[in-house]
Amino acid sequence: MSTHVAAKTQTDERHLLVRLFSSFNSSLMPRIPTPEELYHPVANHPVETIANLDRVPIEDNREPLVDLRRACPDLRLRPLNRSNLRARQSVAQRLNEVQLWLDTHHPGHHLVIIDAWRSDRMQRRGNFYGRTFLRLLHPNWPKSLIREAANKYIADPDALAPPPHSTGGAIDVRLDNAQGRCNLQGPRLKLSASRTDYSPLPEKARQGREILCAAMEHAGFSNYEEEWWHWSYGDSGWALRSNQPKACYGRACNFDSVLDFHTYDVSPNLETNKVNQTD
C-alpha cells in the first residue's frame, strides 16, 4: 500500500470515528438549549433573558421604600421569612388601588403580599441555591446557561439589570376570598403550571387568576409570564414588557431606611408627592 493510500485510509477512519462518536454522544446527551429557549415565547415583547433586560436603560427616580404594614393597612401581608415587607412608594399606592378595585368588583377578595423588596444578601442566597441545583440537574450545561436558567426564577444579582425584588418594584402575591386562600397554582408538581397562561387549569384556579390579572393590570402592574404570582412596576422587566423606553427603579439597597408613612401620601388615586406631616 502506498503512503498516499495509507494516509487517506487513516483520514477516512478518523472521520468515521468522529461521526460514530457524534451520533453516539447525541443519542445519550440531550441537546443544550439556547438562552431564549429556556423561556416560553411571548407575543408582544422579547423574552426576559439576562441580555434583553440588561439593554433596558435605568434612570432611578430615587423614590423611597415604605413599610407596607403601614402604607397598605387594608392588604394582607404574609411574608415567608421576615417580619415586614417594603416596596417603593408608588408600588404601595398601586397596591392600595388593587384592593379598592377588588372591593368594588369582587367583594370578599383580598390581595395577599408574600414578598416584596429583598436585600442583596437574600437575593444572592436564593440565586446560589438555584445554580447549585441546576448544576446537579444539568451537568453538561455551560456556566452561562446555568446562570440563565437560574435567572429565570431567581434573578442574577450581578446582572446589569438589578433583580426585580432588589429594586423595590416587584411583589409576589396571591388572593384570599371569603372561604380562605384561593388555589391559583393548579398542579403543584408541574412547573409549567406556574405560567400565567397555563391552560389546563381547574375552573376555580382559572377564574382566580383572571381576577388577579384584572386587578393588578388595572393598577398599572405588569406580570412576569413565567410566574403568575410575580408582578412589578418600574423595574427593567416592567419596562421591557410594557415597551417603556426606560426603567424608573434601579437597585434600592441605598434606600435601606424606612421612611415614616405619615411623611408620604400613598393613598390610591392621589399624586405621590411629599406632603406635610400633621401629627
Q: Which three cell numbers stand for residue 190?
A: 408541574
Which residue type, as a one-letter code, is found at position 248? Answer: C
Q: Nearest-5° angle of CA 125, CA 143, CA 41?
A: 90
pLDDT on residue 179: 84
pLDDT digits (tens, 9 = 90+) for 182-239: 878 777 767 888 999 988 888 888 999 999 999 999 999 999 999 999 999 999 999 9
Question: pTM (2 decimals)?
Answer: 0.81
Q: Is residue 13 part of a domain?
A: no
pLDDT on residue 80: 72
How many structural domains is the chain composed of? 1
pLDDT on residue 71: 96
Alpha helices, H only, the chain = 3-28, 50-54, 68-71, 89-105, 120-137, 143-151, 164-167, 203-218, 236-241
Q: What pLDDT tens digit does each residue of the chain (279 aa) get? A: 555 545 545 555 555 544 544 444 444 567 899 999 999 988 889 999 999 999 999 999 999 999 999 999 999 998 876 767 999 999 999 999 999 999 999 999 999 999 999 999 999 999 999 999 999 999 999 999 999 999 999 999 999 999 999 999 999 999 998 888 887 877 776 788 899 998 888 888 899 999 999 999 999 999 999 999 999 999 999 999 999 999 999 999 644 444 433 334 455 654 433 333 333
Which residue type, as a one-letter code, is found at position 243? Answer: N
Q: Is residue 193 part of a domain?
A: yes
Q: Is residue 139 part of a domain?
A: yes
pLDDT on residue 14: 58
pLDDT on residue 31: 84
Residue 119 structural domain: 48-263
Q: Which three cell numbers stand for residue 203?
A: 375552573
Q: Is residue 25 part of a domain?
A: no
Q: Is residue 55 part of a domain?
A: yes
What does the DSSP 8-state code read for residue 247? B
Q: Is residue 39 part of a domain?
A: no
Instruction: Give the position of cell 421612611.
Output: 259
Q: Is residue 35 part of a domain?
A: no
The residue among 160, 147, 212 whose CA lies nearest residue 182 is 212
CATH code, 123: 3.30.1380.10
Torsion, Cα of 40, 41, 46, 47 (10° steps): 10
Q: Is residue 9 part of a domain?
A: no
pLDDT on residue 190: 75
